[in-house]
Structure 1
Amino acid sequence: MILPLNQYHKHKNFSGGSKEYQPLKSFIQKDALLFQDGCIAQTYIVADDNMREDKNKPIDTFPFKILGYITLTCSQVNLKEYDLGDCVRASSYEFLPAVKIARLAVDSNNRTSGIGSMLFEYALLMSLDDIRPMVGCRFLITDAKKSAMEFYSKKGMELLDTEENKSADHPIMFIDLFTLIES
């Protein structure tokens, strides 16, 4: 199940694995709750509800082990050459609204379990079905680690096609929510 992160979750036990993932481990252990309290970003965790043997215990205070997490924040993206279809007037804006996947991590003991895909789909559906209709949001974006670009590409995200972005340490990838709306 996916839940908003809270102080009861065992975020200090999250294992990032290799050195490459240390910043993701550090974030969930030290900063995620502070970012939530400061209205900067919201983190959602994947937990196994089978751990809560007594289903009468409240779910919001149960100390779930975090199997994976995703952190979302508001953002904007500059897509100078992007075709916005019939929304011609929007092309006069330098930046367009986006939801940003700021962090996506799976505990090192659960990497091949599909948790990363589940979290991505959660963010995509939330952006498409909840956020976009309420406030207007055209894109879901991320600053991808080079090692995660194939994962995001398989999920339908495109690389922002500029030389500067292609050579960046964490290139911007995006998916146009408009293209997913059923006509």
Structure 2
Amino acid sequence: MKTSLQTPFSSYKIRKLEINEKVKSFDCGDADLNDFILNESGFYRQALLAVTYVFEAADDENHEHIAAYFSLANDRVSMSDFPTKTEFNRFRRHRFVNEKRLKSYPAVKICRLAINQELKGQHIGQFLINFIKSYFLADNKTGCRFLTVDAYAAAIPFYFKQKFVPLTAEDEGAATRLLYFDLNDIAD
């Protein structure tokens, strides 16, 4: 998938990283996120665990200047994510009619999202989150209802601005927090 983008990012594209493609350089300021794109993303793709997409200049035919990347995997929001069955029932009650109350619901996890530190502050993260939301709404490719993310504590305010909310209060104050976004909130 190669996607051309509208302004202000019309000179960029989003494309799926090839299985055997090696990224030569990327620095978002976080060693774990850098290591994933530089060393691990191919292994995750080969094992069918996650697919990584890169955001790069449209004219960068050598793929040497990655502005950002994100990695996606299948997920679910299920009863086991909640401390009690009562909390899970509270979660799904206002979202689903009685006949659609299942024990789990399809989701896509944003496993990683990183912006080259030279480009931070340009709203690329917000743009990519909106792209991911629209990607799963367009023609409802997978029957996906939710986006999820295990957000680093420092990234939680960013995800809150993108309208993600905590799944439960159980992980408040932890190093990462499970957040979700209900795609039905923007569906036509």
TM-score by length of 2: 0.79
Superposed counterparts of 1:16-95, under 5 Å: 16-17=28-29, 21-52=30-61, 62-78=62-78, 80=88, 81-82=90-91, 83-93=93-103, 95=104
The one-letter code sitting in structure 1 at the alignment partner of 2:186 is: L
**How big is the shift at 1:142?**
0.3
Q: Give, in angstroms, the shift of residue 123 of structure 1.
A: 1.2
Matched with 1:157 is: 164
Distance in structure 2 (CA, Å) of the matches to 1:107 and 1:10: 17
Write out per-residue CA displacement over residues 78-132 of structure 1, whole angstroms, 9 at most, x where no aligned residue. Answer: 3602134343233341x221100000001111112222122211211112224xx
Q: Distance in 2 between matches of 1:114 and 1:92?
A: 36
Structure whose residues are more often strand by fraction: 2
Q: CA deviation at 1:177?
A: 1.0
Equivalent AA in structure 2 for residue 40 of structure 1: L
Output aligned runs, 1:127-166, within 5 Å.
127-130=136-139, 133-162=140-169, 164-166=170-172
Paired positions, count? 166
CA distance change for structure 1 residues 158 and 63 in 2, over 3 Å: closer, same or farther? same
Give unpaired runs (5+ residues) of structure 1.
53-61
Higher helix share goes to which structure? 1
Specify the alignment match of 1:56 in structure 2: none
* Unaligned ranges ≥5, structure 2: 1-12, 83-87
Between the two proteins, what is the percent identity of the paired residues?
27
DSSP 3-state at the match of 1:11? coil
Q: Which amino acid aligns with 2:101?
A: S
